[in-house]
Amino acid sequence: MTSNVALDELARFLNDVPMNSGSSDTPGRRFYVTTPIYYPNAEPHIGHCYTTLAADTVARYHRLKGDDTFFLTGTDEHGLKMVKTAADQMTEPGILADKVVAEFQKVWAELDITHDDFIRTTQPRHKLAVQEIVRRLQANGDIYLGAYEGWYDEGQEEFVTETEAKDREFKSVVSGRPLVRYKEPTYFFKLGKYVPRIQAYIEANPEFIQPESRRNEVLSKLKMGVADLSISRSTLRWGIEMPGDPAHVLYVWIDALSNYITALGYGTADDSRFKKYWPVDLHLIGKEILWFHAVYWPAMLFSLDLPLPKKLYAHGWWTSDGRKMSKSMGNFVGMDKIRALGATHGYDAVRYYLLRAAPFGTDLDWTDEGFNKAFDELVNVLGNLLNRVLNMVNKYRGGVIPQPATTREKIDDDLETAISGLAAKLQSAYDRCELQQCAMLPVELARQANGYVEATRPFSLAKDPAQAERLDTVLYLLARASYHALVGLLPMLPAKAMAGLEQLGGNVSGRSLQDLFANPLAAGAKVGTGHPLFPRVETK
Ligand code: MSP
C-alpha cells in the first residue's frame, strides 16, 4: 500500500473529504470533465453526440461513485466560420448562434445529458474573464505586436505552416476547402518560449495525452519546431476585443480554450468553483483538435502559472458507410436519424452502439447493420437474462430470491468470481477511458450468466424436488449476476439499467456505486415481474 492510499483510507475513516489527489476509488473526490465547445454554425449531429454522450457517461460514473463531479459543455460562438455561415444565411452571427445553441440545448435535454453548466462564449461572464486572461498573459511579457503572413484554414480556424500547407496541397485536411493566405498586423503569443517545457511535460507524463499514438504525433510535430502564435485579427469584428487595442479581436482558439476556466469563474471575484475543480481531470475531444489542446492550451496555462489538465483524450472520428458523412452523399447521421432510432429503440441503445462500436480512440464507421447488431446484443444478452431470472424466480420461488446452498460447484465459483470482479474491472476501464470496455464488461457478465443457465439447466432442476437446493443456488447467483450487470451499466444505459433494477426489486436511488456493488440484492428479497427491457423492433 503506498502512503497516498494509506492517507486516503485514513481520510475516509475520519469521514473527511479528500482533495483532488485522492486515489480514484476514494469516494468524495472531485472530478471535472469537459467536452469541446461546439461551433453553433450548423446543427448537432452524431459526432457532437458521441463526445457529449461519452463525457456524460464518465460524469455519471463519477457521480455514482460519490465524487463531487462537474461536467461542462457549451458553444464556441466567435470567429470567421460563424461570420461566413451567417452571411451565407443572410443573417447576423449572433442570431445564428442563438438559433443553433437552442437546438444544441434541446438535443442535450432529449438525450438526458447531465452537464452542470453550458458556457456560451458570447456571455459576458466569459468575455470579461478572457480579457482578464489576456491581460495576465500581457503582464507576463508573453504578447507582442507583429505581422502575420501565412496560411489559414478557415473551416478549422487554424494557422497552417508553409510546410504543412504544401503537404496538404493547400487544402484543409478536414473540409478539403482551399487554404487562405493572410497578411495582416497581429498580436503574437510567445508560444515558442513554452515549447521545450511542453515537450518535457508530455514526455514526463505519459498519461497526459491519450491514446498513446496521438501523444506520439504531438511529440513529433513539436520536435519539428513551433513558431509564435498569432492571437488577434484586425480584419474581423466578431470576437472578443483585444485588451488595450480595440482594433483587434482575439483569435477564436484563445477565446475558446479559455472556456474551461472561465466557466469556473477564473479571473473573476468569485473563483470558488475554479479553486475547487481545477485542474480538470479529463478534456474529451476529437482527434482533429488535439494540437490546440496539447500545445496552445498548456502554453497559456504555463504563462498563467496554472496546473495543466490531468488528461486529454482525443477520440476517433465517425464516418458513415465507409465515407465522410455528408448531406449531399445521403450518408449523414444527423439528429433526424438519431431521433428516429431513439423513438423506436430508445436513446440508451444509441448510446450503447456509439460507445461500444470500437475502442475509444480509434476511428469508427456508422452502419445500420452495426447498430442493429449492438441492439440485438442488448436484447439477447442483457434483456434475455433479466427476463429469464425474473420468470424463474417468480415461477419456482414465488418471486423471492432463495438462500443459496452451502455446497458450490466450480461453475458457481466461476460466475461468482466474475460477479465480484466487475466493480474493479469497470473502475480500471473508466480510469483509463476505455469506454468500449465500460459498455462491454457488464454485458459480458450477462453473457456468462446466460451460459450458466444453459449449463445448469434450472428448468430441469425445477422438475426434481431432490435438486431444490441446487436450484436455490443457481437462481441466487443468476439474480446477483443480472443485478451486477445492470448496476455496472447505470452510467452507460441510465434509463434501461434503472428500469431493469426496478424490475429486479433493487432499491437503487440515492445509493453510491460502491454501496450497490457491496450490498447487492440479498436472499429473501422480492423481485418484480418481468417485461422486456428491450422490446424487439420490427425492421423493414
Ligand atoms: N469549437 C471547436 C472546439 C473548441 S474546444 C475549446 C470545434 N467545434 S466543432 O463544432 O467543430 O466540434 C468539434 C468536435 O465535435 C470534435 O472535436 C468532436 O468532439 C466532435 N465531432 C464532430 N464531428 C465528429 C465526427 N465525425 N466524429 C467524431 N466526433 C466529431 O472544433
* Candidate of 43, 295, 317 to mutate for ligand 1, largest count of ligand atoms within 8 Å of Cβ: 317
Q: What is the rounded average pLDDT of the residues 2-26?
A: 37
Give 3-state DSSP helix, strand, coil % of the chain, rounded to 5.
50, 15, 35
Ligand 1 atom 25 nearest Cα:
47
What is the predicted pLDDT for the residue at 327? 80
C-alpha 420/C-alpha 113 separation (Å) is 30
| Ligand 1 center to 102 CA (angstroms) | 18
Helices (H) and strands (E) in the chain, counts: 23, 15
Per-residue pLDDT reduced to its tens digit, 102-125: 999 999 999 999 999 999 999 999
Q: Is the CB of 47 under 6 A from ligand 1?
A: yes
- Residue 58 Cα, ligand 1 centroid: separation in angstroms? 18
The amino acid at 445: L
Q: Cβ atoms within 10 A of the Cβ of 34, count? A: 27
Ligand 1 in reach of 429 Cβ (< 6 A): no
Is the shortest distance between the CB of 285 and ligand 1 below 6 Å? yes
Give the β-pairing of 143-153 and 158-160.
Answer: antiparallel
Burial (CB count within 10 angstroms: exposed 0-12, middle 13-18, buried 19+), residue 330: exposed
Mean pLDDT of 50-60: 98
Mind listing the pLDDT tens digit for each residue in 445-465?
999 999 999 999 999 999 999
Q: In what order do the strands lie in the sheet with 209-210?
A: 117-120, 68-75, 30-38, 282-286, 312-315, 209-210
77-98 pLDDT tens trace: 999 999 999 999 999 999 999 9
CA-nearest residue, atom 22 of ligand 1: 47
What spacing in Å lies between the alpha carbon of 47 and ligand 1's midpoint?
7
Q: Quick check: 499 and 535 in contact, CB under 8 A?
A: no
pLDDT at 22: 38
Enumerate domains of the chain plus CATH numbers: 368-518 (1.10.730.10)
- Report the C-alpha gap between 148 and 154 in whole angstroms: 15
Instruction: Give residue-wise pLDDT tens across range 342-378.
Output: 999 999 999 999 999 999 999 999 999 999 999 999 9
| Minimum CA distance residue for ligand 1 atom 29 | 47
Question: What are the grid coordinates assigned to 176, written together?
Answer: 478539403
At 237, is the pLDDT very low, low, confident or very high (cuts 50, 70, 90)? very high
The pLDDT, as a whole number, for residue 174 is 85
Q: What pLDDT is attached to residue 325?
A: 87
| pLDDT at residue 23, rounded to an integer | 43
Above 70 in pLDDT, residue 11?
Answer: no
Residue 294, pLDDT above cutoff 90: yes
CB neighbour list of residue 97: distance below 8 Å, 6 or more residues apart: 40, 75, 77, 82, 120, 122
- 334 pocket-lining for ligand 1 (C-beta < 6 Å): no
The strand pair at 282-286 and 312-315 is best described as parallel
For residue range 57-78, list pLDDT tens digits in order: 999 999 999 999 999 999 999 9
CA nearest to 415, candidates 394, 397, 389: 389
Q: What percent of the chain has pLDDT over 90?
A: 86
